[in-house]
Amino acid sequence: MIKSICCIGAGYVGGPTMAVIALKNPHIKVTVVDVNQERINAWNAQNLDKLPVYEPGLAEIIAQMRNVNLFFSTQVNEAIQQAEMIFISVNTPTKTYGLGKGMAADLKYVELCARQIASVATTNKIVVEKSTLPVRTASTIKSILKQSQNNVQFEILSNPEFLAEGTAINDLLNPDRVLIGGDYHTPEGKNAIAALSEIYKNWVTTDKIITTNIWSSELSKLTANAFLAQRISSINAMSAICEATEANIDEVAFAIGKDSRIGDKFLKASVGFGGSCFQKDILNLVYIAQTFGLNEVADYWQQVISMNNYQKSRFARKIVQEMFNTVSGKKIVLLGWAFKKDTNDSRESAAIDIANYLIEEQAELHIYDPKVTAQQIFTDLEKSTTIPQEELATKIKIYNHPDTIFQQAHAIVIVTEWDQFKTFNYTNIKKQMQQPAFIFDGRNILNPSEITQIGFHYIGIGK
């Protein structure tokens, strides 16, 4: 039975995943390590508001398990040495240079982990791929680990993570399935699969723990994300047709969702999907298909991203068009910055593209998000625009609280579906704004007839 686990990478996956494993396996010592000292300090912060990841329910588990059997540290070598099982949970972003630039997954962090494990380990280890990786990455990891001079046996498993941010703890506690890919034809492979299954069996029923070969497991993760993103691009494509025909996308989604073969989840039309994974993983899939000469397959999946880009720019353009073709000098309130509600993560958020478009159109942006820090918002914009920092600072204002944000505003743009935006007192807000007052509801969270009744000019998605 495994008694000691190490997880390399204390990010959005490593932190919450290990917190839940520690909670459900009090007999296992779980050490989460990272090279980023600041991040580790934040995981160890006394004030739980300072944790680097915001997820409902996470702080409570950290408070309960931290320094009991859950540890956060920068001592990577020590943690590798002590662990019987090592999860690799580092970032795998899209490559920004060289071969495969803009498409392939950058595996340099994964490779570094494998090299470090190979050089440091002095006892046998089970190495688990938790990061999302291109199919056949395990063979790369295997060939690096083989170079170890320490006469150590390594067994490699793929155990992709399916949690969604904002619901990570619930997803981890109640997963639809746990996928374990491994070498089930060899006794060593079988033992490794059994050891990892034992950990999950402490809270997940056996029927939900699926075993496949390692390549199927790696590819299933990319496939799941591609299918999920495809659904959003499909419903968003239909939202454009709705706007041209007076059909209503919420009604269409409801009607098709009643078909049990289609199902009603993941059919919410929006400003476009964001987040660190959908785009990166589909680009990765497109690159893999191209590498195998499967150009039609590559083109097919590429279209999911093209449609998402179209949706983001279509929404931004509509704001300008509806406001009499100019937003120059106008005060626009952006509600939300995170890529979805209940997270502080803004990676690839649609808000960034929309804000940039409006800044180009010379609007004055006033931004509020309940969880994303002002510094993060500023950094996101700085990284994505060519406008010099000083000039950017004159074009945006970021608020910690929405109290005064609406005064003299010309328009409100809802980018993230935070629950609190649904219950604002829009009657009062309207009185503070310039007239005609516009609301662009990029998440369809408001009731159009109520908002119109108040006197707003309401524009939703696909209606």
Ligand X SMILES: NC(=O)C1=CN([C@@H]2O[C@H](COP(=O)(O)OP(=O)(O)OC[C@H]3O[C@@H](n4cnc5c(N)ncnc54)[C@H](O)[C@@H]3O)[C@@H](O)[C@H]2O)C=CC1
Ligand Y SMILES: O=C(O)[C@H]1O[C@H](OP(=O)(O)OP(=O)(O)OC[C@H]2O[C@@H](n3ccc(=O)[nH]c3=O)[C@H](O)[C@@H]2O)[C@H](O)[C@@H](O)[C@@H]1O
Closer of 11 and 274 to ligand X (Cβ):
11
Which residue in the set 25, 91, 308, 376 belongs to the binding site for ligand X (CB under 6 A)? 91
Q: Which residues bind ligand Y (CB under 6 A)?
A: 132, 161-165, 225, 228, 232, 266-268, 270, 273-275, 277-278, 339-340
**242 annotated active-site:** no
Taking the complex as a whole, the smallest distance from the CB of residue 220 to ligand X amounts, in Å, to 12
∠452-456-458 over CA atoms, to 5°? 70
Catalytic residue among 95, 243, 277, 312: 277
Indicate which of ligand X, ligand Y, none lies near residue 228 (CB less than 5 to 8 Å, by partner kind): ligand Y
* Residues in 119-138 that interact with ligand X by CB under 6 A: 131-132
**3 annotated active-site:** no
Per-position x/- string for 100-119, each x denoting binding to ligand X as judged by CB under 6 A, each - no binding? ---------x--xx------
Q: How far is Cα of residue 96 from the mean position of the Cα atoms in its chain?
A: 19
What burial letters (b/e) apply to 259-281, b meaning 16+ CB within 10 Å? eeeeeeebbbbbbbbbbbbbbbb
Closer of 69 and 308 to ligand Y (Cβ):
308
Indicate which of ligand X, ligand Y, none lies near residue 158 (CB less than 5 to 8 Å, by partner kind): none
Which residue in the set 69, 137, 220, 276 belongs to the binding site for ligand X (CB under 6 A)? 276
Could you count the other beta carbons within 10 Å of the beta carbon of residue 84? Answer: 16
Cβ-Cβ contacts under 8 Å for 258 (sequence gap 6 or more): 264
Per-position x/- string for 44-83, each x denoting binding to ligand X as judged by CB under 6 A, each - no binding? --------------------------------x-------
- Residue 220 interacting with ligand X (CB under 6 A): no
What burial letters (b/e) apply to 105-132, b meaning 16+ CB within 10 Å? bbbebbeebbebbbebbeeebbbbbbbb
**6 annotated active-site:** no
Taking the complex as a whole, the smallest distance from the CB of residue 125 to ligand X amounts, in Å, to 16
Taking the complex as a whole, the smallest distance from the CB of residue 231 to ligand X amounts, in Å, to 17
Catalytic residue among 24, 130, 221, 463: 221
Selected range binding ligand X among 2-10, 147-155, 319-327, 449-457, rule: CB under 6 A: 2-10
Main-chain dihedrals φ then ψ at residue 237, nearest 5 degrees: -60, -40
In the complex, which residue's CB is closest to ligand Y?
A: 277
Cβ-Cβ contacts under 8 Å for 265 (sequence gap 6 or more): 257
- β-sheet bridge partners, residue 126: 85, 155
- Catalytic residue positions, numbered: 161, 221, 277
The residue ranges that bind ligand X (CB under 6 A) are 8-14, 33-36, 39, 76, 89-92, 109, 112-113, 131-132, 161, 163, 165, 276-277
